[in-house]
């Protein structure tokens, strides 16, 4: 069955939260989605790269217009680029509520930097990837503008099929790499990295040549590739994507823009990196859910979904949609569940004014259904649940769980399977 619009929205939400990862091999794409939540601003990624010896543009960060002006003067560059720092793409074509058009501006006059920053800082920037009201800009990056004679694409990412990291590159950079793979798959090059050897000189030089670097630039590009792999290891990255990895008229190889994704499981040894996490742009409900290790994505329907496992959650969204309902959210409880998590999940769901019914769909493998049942009854009593609740439980300790729900005396509608649960949830909001 083709994915419904609901599950597609959930999938897009997951990819936004966890970031999109691809390994392009001719016409095949493998999507990797481990648990990834850390978001860094552009200047923060550039700082990490700079610390690992990767060539980036000279830059400063400013929180006020006067700081931006002073930074522009200190750069003493022929041309300066001013970039609004928000966690969204399409900044160059965005619009500020101050009236300024574009979150990225080029100028040769430092005085103009101060004027532009004054119309950026403290104002909302709206792009194709922001909420309709935009995101408030609190920081700008003032950088040296460099000419680019040629753009290439380069990334290092984890690939399950290779049991480790892989380099992916293309001489066609500065554009959507998926489009390159679809139209000219022969321009996608891949090198599997041995985790014990690291990136060998011959691999780095071969990738540099495949990217189109010639003469002294080939060696320079190979050096940058090896430094990027050092960074990949150093920060426990799951992906380091540079687009473009560019060549300047002066014969420099520079990483002009980069996206770094991190493995949250390594947070315990990457304290400094995770301390950089900018949570100000995150959805408040998603932030609250994350405190309890819940994965929450808001949708625009009226049936709340409380499920364990991303795949099951998407299937639940699909079947609700199939029966004429609309999911209000995508909430994944995960595996090592506690009663308190169930309670906090219900608090999040009932706080949404759009929710007119709640569907709990649990398939207990490592999850003890009795823990879920105890959490449900506690939440229903303490939160004085006012909307219909449909519960489908299956798996570990399910008979005890059903006994707990039955003896609670609460108005809980039991369902035998997922299809039955979806039908009853949709029927509940139509009464």
Q: Which two tokens stand for residue 281?
A: 């742009």
Does 366 appear as a known binding residue? yes
Q: How far apart are the two ends of the chain, measured CA to CA in Å?
A: 29
Contact partners, residue 420, CB within 8 Å, separation at least 6: 392
Does 163 appear as a known binding residue? no
C-alpha distances in Å from residue 82, one per residue of 34, 97, 259, 428: 34, 18, 19, 53
Partners of residue 412 on adjacent β-strands:
389
Active-site option among 42, 151, 191, 241 = 241
Does 133 appear as a known binding residue? no
Burial degree of 224 (CB within 10 A; 0-12, 13-18, 19+): buried
| C-alpha span between 291 and 286 (Å, rounded) | 9
Q: Is 218 helix (H, G, I), strand (E, B) or coil?
A: helix
Does 92 appear as a known binding residue? yes
According to DSSP, the β-strands at 357-364 and 389-395 are parallel
C-alpha distances in Å from residue 224, one per residue of 54, 129, 339: 6, 31, 49
343 is annotated as an active-site residue = no
Neighbour order of strands in the sheet with 389-395: 295-298, 329-332, 303-307, 357-364, 389-395, 412-414
Among 175, 112, 117, 172, smallest CA distance to 141 is for 117
Q: How many CB atoms lie within 10 A of CB 85?
A: 23
279: DSSP letter: -
CB 355 within 8 A of CB 304: yes
Does 308 appear as a known binding residue? yes
DSSP for 297-359, written as a single string: EE-SSSEEEEESSHHHHHHHHHHHHHTT--BSEEEE--SS--HHHHHHHHHHHHT-TT--EEE
Q: Which two tokens stand for residue 328?
A: 């209000």
Active-site option among 153, 229, 296, 343 = 153
Among 99, 9, 44, smallest CA distance to 327 is for 9
Does 15 appear as a known binding residue? no
| C-alpha span between 206 and 276 (Å, rounded) | 35
Q: Which two tokens stand for residue 264?
A: 């949250």
Does 80 appear as a known binding residue? no
Give the angle subtended at the CA of 170 by the CAs of 169 and 173, to the nearest 5°. Answer: 115
70 is annotated as an active-site residue = no
Which amino acids are annotated as binding site for Mg(2+), given as ranges? 243, 257
Which amino acids are annotated as binding site for GTP, given as ranges? 57, 90-92, 146
Q: Which residues are catalytic?
A: 153, 241
Which amino acids are annotated as binding site, given as ranges? 57, 90-92, 146, 243, 257, 308, 365-367
Which amino acids are annotated as binding site for substrate, given as ranges? 308, 365-367
């Amino acid at each position: 069955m083709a994915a419904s619009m609901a599950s597609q929205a959930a999938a897009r939400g997951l990819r936004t939260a966890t970031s999109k990862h691809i390994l392009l091999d001719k016409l095949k794409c493998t999507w990797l989605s481990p648990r990834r939540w850390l978001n860094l601003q552009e200047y923060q990624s550039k700082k990490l790269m700079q610390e690992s010896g990767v060539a980036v543009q000279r830059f400063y960060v400013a929180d006020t217009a006067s700081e931006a002006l002073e930074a522009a003067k200190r750069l003493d560059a022929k041309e300066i680029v001013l970039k609004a720092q928000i966690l969204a793409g399409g900044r160059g074509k965005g619009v500020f509520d101050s009236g300024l058009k574009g979150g990225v501006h080029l100028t040769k006059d430092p005085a103009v930097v101060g004027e532009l920053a004054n119309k950026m800082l403290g104002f909302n920037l709206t792009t194709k990837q922001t909420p309709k009201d935009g995101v408030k800009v609190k920081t700008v990056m003032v950088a040296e503008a460099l000419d680019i004679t040629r753009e290439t694409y380069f990334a290092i990412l984890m690939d399950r099929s290779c049991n480790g990291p892989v380099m992916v590159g293309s001489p066609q950079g500065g554009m959507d790499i998926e489009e390159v793979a679809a139209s000219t798959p022969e321009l996608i090059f891949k090198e599997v990295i041995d985790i014990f050897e690291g990136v060998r000189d011959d691999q780095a030089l071969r990738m540099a040549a495949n990217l189109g670097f010639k003469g002294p630039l080939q060696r320079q590009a190979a050096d940058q590739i090896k430094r990027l792999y050092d960074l990949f290891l150093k920060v426990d990255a799951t992906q380091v994507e540079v687009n473009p990895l560019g060549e300047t008229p002066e014969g420099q190889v520079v990483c002009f823009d980069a996206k770094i994704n991190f493995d949250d499981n390594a947070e315990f040894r990457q304290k400094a990196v995770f301390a950089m996490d900018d949570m100000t742009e995150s959805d408040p409900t998603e932030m609250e859910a994350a405190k309890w290790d819940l994965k929450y994505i808001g949708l625009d329907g009226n049936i709340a979904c409380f499920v364990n496992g991303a795949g099951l959650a998407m299937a639940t969204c699909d079947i609700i949609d199939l029966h004429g309902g609309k999911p209000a959210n995508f909430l994944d409880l995960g595996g090592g569940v506690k009663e308190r998590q169930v309670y906090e999940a219900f608090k999040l769901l009932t706080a949404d004014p759009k929710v007119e019914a709640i569907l709990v769909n649990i398939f207990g493998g490592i999850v003890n259904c009795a823990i879920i049942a105890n959490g449900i009854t506690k939440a229903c009593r303490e939160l004085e649940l006012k909307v219909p609740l449909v519960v489908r439980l299956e798996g570990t300790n399910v008979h005890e769980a059903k006994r707990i729900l039955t003896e609670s005396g609460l108005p809980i509608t039991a369902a035998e399977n997922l299809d039955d649960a979806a039908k009853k949830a949709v029927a509940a909001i139509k009464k």
